[in-house]
Amino acid sequence: MTESSVFRYFWLFGLVNNVLYVVILSAAADIVGPGLPKALVLLVDILPAFFIKITAPFYIHKIAHAHRILGLIVLSCVGMVLVARRTLGVCIVGIILASFSSGLGELTFLQLTHCHKQPSLNGWSSGTGGAGLFGSGAYLVLTSILKIPVSQALVLFSVMPFAFLLYFKLDKGDYDSLDCDHIEQGGVLEHSSASTIEPIMKSQWVLMRDHVSSTFSRLRGLVVPYMLPLSTVYFFEYLINQGVLPTLLFPLDESVRHPFFFHKYRDIYVTYGTLYQLGVFISRSSGSLFRIKKLYMLSILQGVNLVIVLFQSWFYVVHSVYPIMLLVLFEGLLGGASYVHTFMNIIHEIDPSEREFSLGAVSMSDSFGTLLAAFAGIALEPRLCSHQVGSGRPWCLKE
């Protein structure tokens, strides 16, 4: 299989894996309404995925990739059908199922890039960025412009996960010599010392203890160079997206110029999401062009963005939506760049014997930062909204 074919396959896998996650976040205002913080949807949308990622290093090697793919399809399709029901309790169950699928899918396909090399990572990163743009953009067009009912718009996305079946058309002959044949049977490369120091008669409990100890030891070396900068970028950006952006609103009357499709206040929030995902798509597609090694600079810049939007929400300094739209686009550029260049650095810097483990393990970092942002956003958005109402800006309470 050619490098361009590998790129296209992984681009599609990235698109399909992330699109439901994006659509659910875009629909947050429609799912919970103006009375509940949008970060509640983010919390439910990220917690199951984070649980999968944080526990996976201890057992995921026992599950064959083919079985994972079939699980992704079932979880995603059923989850999205439940989300489309629009009843809050049923929606939450659907979001949980879709989140499990998203976390398992990201872990699985990132590990596969270990065998298919940089074209697959470039394709996956660009595809996940494309998922953001496609998901949020399609939801904006369907609900804000075409006026299709939210439930019907949501159920349309439930057929997309069947594209995962294309996994079975990947040419396994492309796997290089790093023992990638374990993928079909289940089982991940273990540290080379594991098989040589463990006596054959060791008890299962001791084997498990040693495996857990070894896993934590391998994780520690990934924290500072990769996991911490990725986590902080995602904490800042998702606190912006779900905790602050729902309050960056403007009066929908003749006193302020705004896009023609701003009919309701939820349209502003959906538009922010689309612009953010546009930035993510652009920067996640940059992996083949250059490499950013100073990952902490992205964290600092994203932190500055958070300070700016908090200032705007509290003091209402800017009275036009357009500068805020540009800032949201820049925020997406930083977030997407942090994701793709973190994994690019792993590909280039980590020893091949540890690379597959590292790619899967570091994938928990963005979910961890997002999870912290969800908890913070649940407290932050109501506080900002309350202040705005007291200042004569009650738009955050309107649909």
What is the predicted pLDDT for the residue at 367?
A: 86
112-131 pLDDT per residue, tens: 887 877 788 889 988 988 89
What is the predicted pLDDT for the residue at 183?
A: 56
- Whether residue 136 lies inside any domain: the answer is yes
- Whether residue 252 lies inside any domain: the answer is yes
Give the separation between CA 191 and CA 151, rounded to whole angstroms: 48
- Whether residue 66 lies inside any domain: the answer is yes
- Whether residue 191 lies inside any domain: the answer is no
175-223 pLDDT per residue, tens: 554 456 555 555 443 444 444 444 444 455 666 676 678 778 888 889 9
Instruction: Give me the DSSP letters along 57-103.
Output: GGTGGGS-HHHHHHHHHHHHHHHHHHHTT--HHHHHHHHHHHHHHHH
- Whether residue 342 lies inside any domain: the answer is yes
What is the predicted pLDDT for the residue at 208?
A: 63
- Whether residue 182 lies inside any domain: the answer is no
How is residue 321 written in tokens?
A: 């939506």
Q: How confident is the model at residue 172 (pLDDT cuts 50, 70, 90)?
A: low
- Whether residue 278 lies inside any domain: the answer is yes
Secondary structure class of 264 (helix, strand, coil): coil
- Whether residue 187 lies inside any domain: the answer is no
Q: Report pTM.
A: 0.77
Name which residue leads in pLDDT, 33 or 175.
33
Q: Which domain holds residue 383?
A: 3-172+204-397
User: What is the number of structural domains in the chain?
Assistant: 1
What is the predicted pLDDT for the residue at 186?
A: 53
272-288 pLDDT per residue, tens: 988 998 999 899 888 77
How is residue 284 written in tokens?
A: 């996640």
**Cα 309–Cα 326–Cα 284 angle in degrees, nearest 5:** 100
Share of the chain above pLDDT 90, in %: 51
Domain at 251, CATH number? 1.20.1250.20
What is the predicted pLDDT for the residue at 198?
A: 47
Is the torsion defined by CA of 60, 63, 69, 75 positive or negative? negative
Mean pLDDT over all residues of the chain?
Answer: 86
